[in-house]
Structure 1
Amino acid sequence: MELEGSQELAATPAEVWQALFDRDILEQAIPGCESLEQNSETSFSAIVKLKIGPVSARFKGNVELSDIVPGASCTLSGKGSGGIAGFAKGDARVTLTSEGNVATLDYKADVTVGGKLAALGNRLIKSTAQKLTAEFFSNFTTALSGETEETAI
């Protein structure tokens, strides 16, 4: 399944790039993230609890960053297992461009799911992935601006 999109962020590409590698910001931004550990400059391990249709699971996974062009682009490769719920794995190419103080983050991902998740069908999985992507960017924008729930009220 392919997912692609674009998100404008009210920050410079340098600020967005730094935030993409910031463990604390990513932990706040990833929907359902229970823990995120940075294993090296380019690898993370996470535990994420998600509900996709009738299937609820705690996924344990890893993400590696490669093909890094500092401040401009990188490839994220990840895989996660949710036990009997199934697994997900995929790659995403992320590219940053700018116009003034607005950075545009473009992404194109190819994702594969298996197990009970695969039985749910592509439409449900794709709509859930789009919802989670929107939630990630909303959380990421809030974390990037330095707002907390208290200051956003």
Structure 2
Amino acid sequence: MKMSDTRQIAATPDEVYAALLSPEVLKACVPGAQEVTGSPEDGFEATVVQKVGPVKATFKGAVTLSDMVPGQSLTITGEGKGGAAGFAKGGAAVSMAPSDGGTALSYDVEAKVGGKLAQLGSRIIDGFARKMADQFFSNLQETLEGPADPAEPGEEAPEAQKKSWLKRVTGKA
């Protein structure tokens, strides 16, 4: 299963790149992520709980980053085993380019499944994989830009949220 898309994100390419290297951000962005630990250099260990059709499974797996060009591109590769449910593996080639008001983030994703999951049929699997990829990049966009809704009185404004995130990840606002 393959898919591609492009998103406009209101953040610089360097901010988007830094977000993709942060285990905190990955945990917030990967749908169903229970735990993400590790580093970009050594790879990440992840625990993700997902329901695909009638099959619910806890996947434990590894995520590695390669072909890393700061602020421009990287490749994310992951593989997870879900016990009796089977396995899932795939990767995404991600590129970032400056655009009006931020970054044009493009991605090409390829995913494969096996075991009970593969028995669900390609229509269910393809739809689920598209939903997961779209949700991941939507979550990434929201993490970088702040919520789409205007801040309620007394809540932190999206710009303040963005700066606090940047400060945690990069140590500077």
With normalisation by structure 1, the TM-score equals 0.90
Q: 1:53 to 1:111 in 2, by over 3 A?
A: same
Q: Partners of 1:134 and 1:84 in 2: how far apart?
A: 26
Per-residue Cα deviation, 1:39-58 (whole angstroms, up to 9, x for no partner):
45351110000011111000
Q: Which residue of 2 is the match for residue 131 of structure 1? A: 131
Q: Which residue of 2 is the match for residue 27 of structure 1? A: 27
Per-residue Cα deviation, 1:41-98 (whole angstroms, up to 9, x for no partner):
3511100000111110000010111111111111111110000000011222111112
**Which amino acid in structure 2 is aligned with residue 26 of structure 1?**
L
Q: Which residue of 1 is the match for residue 91 of structure 2? A: 91
Identity %: 44
**Which amino acid in structure 2 is aligned with residue 132 of structure 1?**
M
RMSD over aligned CA atoms reads: 1.9
Mapping of residues 3-152 of structure 1, within 5 Å? 3-146=3-146
1:42 touches 1:66 (CA, 8 Å); kept in 2? Answer: no
With normalisation by structure 2, the TM-score equals 0.80
Q: Which structure has more RCO (C-alpha within 8 Å, separation ≥ 6)?
A: 1
**Which amino acid in structure 2 is aligned with residue 37 of structure 1?**
T
Structure 2 portions without partners, runs of 5+: 158-173
1:12 touches 1:100 (CA, 8 Å); kept in 2? Answer: no
Moved more, 36-45 or 106-115: 36-45
Structure 1 portions without partners, runs of 5+: none
Q: Partners of 2:118 and 2:45 in 1: how far apart?
A: 23
Bigger fraction of residues in strand: 1
1:25 touches 1:144 (CA, 8 Å); kept in 2? Answer: no
1:39 touches 1:45 (CA, 8 Å); kept in 2? Answer: no
Find the residue that maps to 1:84 and give its secondary structure: helix
Task: Give the deviation of 1:127 after TM superposition.
Answer: 0.7
Q: Partners of 1:7 and 1:130 in 2: how far apart?
A: 14
| Number of residue-to-residue matches in the alignment | 151
Q: Runs ≥4 in structure 1, deviation > 2 angstroms?
A: 39-42, 145-148
1:72 touches 1:96 (CA, 8 Å); kept in 2? Answer: yes
Please say which structure displays the higher CA radius of gyration. Answer: 2
Q: 1:99 to 1:11 in 2, by over 3 A?
A: same
Q: Partners of 2:126 and 2:133 in 1: how far apart?
A: 10
